[in-house]
Amino acid sequence: MSLTGQPPTLLDRPYFEPFDRTYADVTKRMKAAAARLNGADRDWLNRLIDTFATERTLWNRRPELDEYRRRWQRLRTRFLRLAAGAYLHISYDLPRAIADDWPGQRSWSHGPTELRGEQIYSEIRHVFPLTLRRISRDAKISGWLVAVLAPLSMPMLAPLGTWLLHLRLAAWNHARILATHPHRARREQAMALAVSAALEDVSDFRPWTGSLLQPPDQVLYAPFWTGVLAVLLSWGPFVATIVLAAAVAFLVSGLRIRALARSAESMLFVQEFAIRLLDYVDEAVRNPEEFPSYLARVRRQQGLSPREGGSAPSLG
């Protein structure tokens, strides 16, 4: 059961696939970076890589992420599902995993030092833009509309890459707090509430179009188009070819406009989402006891009523 007493929301593979395909490439690049290191530096980075992978396998099992999964389930496009996975991984998984193996402490008292660990962490930041460039033409991640109709995918992924780097920097700072300050369990509990609240609030912040948040329509157009084709062919192959060519050109033009509009809206969504994550998670880590009242205050300021934005969570 979830924390609310309701049956838990479990996500199917299509929701995870955009992230999993992307992160497989990220993992490969991180392992290559680890192989260039020596001794404790290499062992530490490899340990983080393994822990990050383990955290991913627990997304469907963590009751504290049930609300996040429920909101994730509403995301229609592969691009937004990629953002939901990447943002959760960086804002929630990374700080906790790094805190478990904070450099200079316990198993790593012999190295790397905190300063060296931060340097290694910083040096591998380049794997994210490299991976985003590689996947920009992958229709299974960016969507066929973007990958086929126009070179939109890299411009759409670029803002995501920028926000990932901001979130990644915050993750290191939050890991330091978790590793070196008391009441870690309380802070992590507040973090789970924070990531869920960020996705909940960005979804309710403005009336996003159905192409982003509503389930995809399952409408079959084949019977209609089969009839149209039959009529055109009755006019003769030459006329049918001219009419079909004009119709396709018109359709492609309309689809390009739709793709551009959805691309712009998607970029705005990931920006609003990242801004909330940066604010909410930082407050949760630093002041877990005050986070519920902080969130309620922010929601009032943004005009999100409890019904629209969800009630303030409790850390009880």
Look at residue 264 and tell me if it is in a domain.
no
Separation between Cα atoms, residue 87 and residue 280, nearest integer Å: 13
What are 102-160's pLDDT values in tens digits? 999 999 999 999 999 999 999 999 888 778 777 766 766 665 545 554 455 556 677 88
Look at residue 239 and tell me if it is in a domain.
no
Of 58, 59, 283, the residue nearest 187 (C-alpha): 283
What are 210-248's pLDDT values in tens digits? 667 744 333 333 344 444 444 444 555 555 556 455 555
Look at residue 39 and tell me if it is in a domain.
yes
What are 166-210's pLDDT values in tens digits? 999 999 999 999 999 999 999 999 999 999 999 999 998 876 766
Count of CA atoms in the C-beta half-sphere (13 A) of 11: 28
Residues belonging to the chain:
316
Neighbour-count burial for 47-63, b at 16+ CB within 10 Å, e otherwise: bbbebbeebbeebeeee
pLDDT above 90 as % of the chain: 59
pLDDT higher than threshold 80 for residue 19: yes
pLDDT higher than threshold 90 for residue 296: yes
CB–CB of 140/17 below 8 Å?
yes
Describe the crossing of helices 153-180 and 184-205 by its angle, rounded to 10 degrees. Answer: 150
Look at residue 297 and tell me if it is in a domain.
yes
Number of domains in the chain: 1
Separation between Cα atoms, residue 54 and residue 58, nearest integer Å: 7
Look at residue 93 and tell me if it is in a domain.
yes
Look up the pTM and report it: 0.81
Look at residue 245 and tell me if it is in a domain.
no
What are 56-89's pLDDT values in tens digits? 999 999 999 999 999 999 998 888 999 999 999 9
Distinct helix (H) and strand (E) counts, the chain: 16, 0
Look at residue 151 and tell me if it is in a domain.
yes
User: Could you tell me the residue range of the domain that residue 288 belongs to?
Assistant: 13-219+270-309
Look at residue 120 and tell me if it is in a domain.
yes
